Amino acid sequence: MTEPTHSQRVLSGVQPSGALHLGNYLGALKKFTALQETYDCYLFVADLHAITVWQEPAKLADQTREIAAAYLAAGLDPKRAAIFPQSAVRAHAELAWIFNCTARLGWLDRMTQFKEKSGKHKERSSVGLYTYPVLQAADILVYKATHVPVGEDQKQHLELTRDIAGKFNTDFDAPDFFPIPEPLIQGPGARVMSLRDGSAKMSKSDPSDQSRINLTDTADEILQKIKRAKTDPEPLPETIEGLTDRPEADNLVGIYAALTGETKAQVLERFGGQGFGAFKPALAEVTVAAMTPVGDAMRRYLADPAEIDRILAAGAERANAAAEPTLAEVKRIVGFWPGR
Ligand code: TYM
C-alpha cells in the first residue's frame, strides 16, 4: 500500500432548511461524532446551499444555530471539530465559481436531486439549485478533504465532486493537487425511509410529520409514530434475504440496527419469526433511549445562543485558516493575476 499523499481530513455539512430527523442523525450526525476521534473534522451548516430555495431571512440565522446545536447535542466537540456556517468562509463561494468553469453542463444535467427538487417547474428554479452540486464540490475540496460522511442521497453529488477534482488536476496539469475524496456512506442508517411509505426517503420536506422522527420529538411522540408506522402483515423473516420486497419491514429493521450498532442480520437473529406487535415496542424503546437525550441536549444548547455563536465564530476562524491556502494555490494554478 502506498502512503496517503493528503492528510486524512473529514468534511460534511447539513442544510439549515427545516427540522432535523432520524435520517439526518443516522446518515450524518452519528457518523460525524465517531469520526472526530480519528480525523481532522470540518463540519459546517450549509446556509449557502439552503438559499437555493427560499428561506425566510428573519429565521435563517436561528435555523443555522439549530443545526449547530444538533451537532453539539449529537456529541461533536468543538475543540476537535471545526463547526461553522458555510457563509462565514468566503473561499467556498469563490472556489465554486472556478469549479463552475470546470464542471460540464452534461454532468449537472444528470443530477437526480435537481430533477426531484425542481419538479415540473424547472425554468422557475433558481440557477443556484442547478449548480448546487458544484458548490458542494467546492465545500469539500477547499479543505482537500479525503473523507465525506453522508447519507446515500448524496452519493451522486460525491461522484461529481470526484469528477471535478480529477478534471481540475488534469486540466491544469496539477496531478494530485486535489485528493479524490472517498464518500463514507455504508451502514444500515445510510438511507432511512419514511415511516408512512417504505419506498420514500425520510425527509424534512415531507408534509406529514408522522413520516419522520424529529430530533426534538418527545418520548411519547416517538412511541406514537412508531406504533403507527406502516408495516405488512407478515412476521419478520429469519434472514435479510426475506426483507426483499418488504420495504417497511426492511426500514424498521435497518433503523433498529443503526441505532444499536448491530447488523440487520443480527437483529433478525433475535426478532425473526416475531410479529410487529413484538418488534415495534422494542424498536420504540431503543429509539427513545437514543434520541431523547439528543433532543434534551439540543434544547439546552439552544437556551444559550451566545455560546453557540462563540463556537461558530471560532470554527469559522479555523475553517478560514484551512481554506485560504488552498484557494490561493488554486488562483495561482489557474493563472490569475499576478500570474504563476
Ligand atoms: P441535507 O441537509 O439534505 O442532509 C444532511 C445529511 O443527512 C443525510 N440524510 C439522510 N441520511 C439517511 N437517511 C435519510 N433519510 C437522510 N436524509 C438526509 C444526507 O445524506 C446528509 O448527509 N447537500 C447536502 C449538504 C452539503 C454537503 C456538502 C454534504 C452541502 N455541502 C459537502 C457533504 C459535503 C444536503 O443537502 O444535506
pLDDT at 7: 84
CA distances from 248 to 125, 192, 308 (A): 33, 10, 38
In this structure, of 118-127, 193-202, 230-239, 287-296, the range with the lowest mean pLDDT score is 118-127
Contact 324, 91 (CB under 8 A): yes
pLDDT at 340: 81
Query: How many helices and strands in the chain, by DSSP H and E?
Result: 14, 5
Q: How buried is 15 (Cβ within 10 angstroms: 0-12 exposed, 13-18 middle, 19+ buried)?
A: buried
pLDDT at 2: 47
pLDDT tier at 108 (50, 70, 90 boundaries)? very high
Residue 5: pLDDT above 70? Answer: no
Ligand 1 centroid – CA 218 distance (Å)? 24
Ligand 1 in contact with 74 (CB < 6 A)? no
CA distances from 218 to 119, 129, 282, 284 (A): 34, 34, 17, 12
Mean pLDDT score, 153-182: 98
CA distances from 315 to 12, 80, 179 (A): 14, 10, 23
pLDDT tier at 1 (50, 70, 90 boundaries)? very low
Ligand 1 centroid – CA 250 distance (Å)? 21
- The domains located in the chain, with CATH, are 9-191+305-334 (3.40.50.620), 209-300 (1.10.240.10)
Which of 154, 160, 211 has most ligand 1 atoms within 8 Å of its beta carbon, as the pocket-test mutant?
A: 154
Ligand 1 centroid – CA 271 distance (Å)? 31
Ligand 1 in contact with 149 (CB < 6 A)? no
Which of 132, 139, 150, 252 has most ligand 1 atoms within 8 Å of its beta carbon, as the pocket-test mutant?
A: 150
pLDDT digit string (tens) for 22-58? 999 999 999 999 999 999 999 999 999 999 999 999 9
Ligand 1 centroid – CA 152 distance (Å)? 8
For ligand 1, atom 27, which residue shows the shortest CA distance? 13
pLDDT digit string (tens) for 311-320? 999 999 999 9
Mean pLDDT score, 202-223: 96
> Among 18, 49, 30, which residue's Cα sits nearest to residue 206?
18
Mean pLDDT score, 328-337: 98
Ligand 1 in contact with 21 (CB < 6 A)? no
Residue 338 preceded by cis peptide, ω within 30: yes
Give yes or no: 204 in active site: yes
Residue 249: pLDDT above 90? Answer: yes
Ligand 1 in contact with 50 (CB < 6 A)? no
How high does pLDDT run on average in the chain?
A: 96
> Among 249, 228, 290, 227, which residue's Cα sits nearest to residue 22?
290
Q: How many CB atoms lie within 10 A of CB 2?
A: 4
- Rounded to two decimals, the pTM is 0.97
Rounded to 5°, the CA angle 154-156-162 comes to 105
Q: Which residue has the cell 452534461?
A: 106
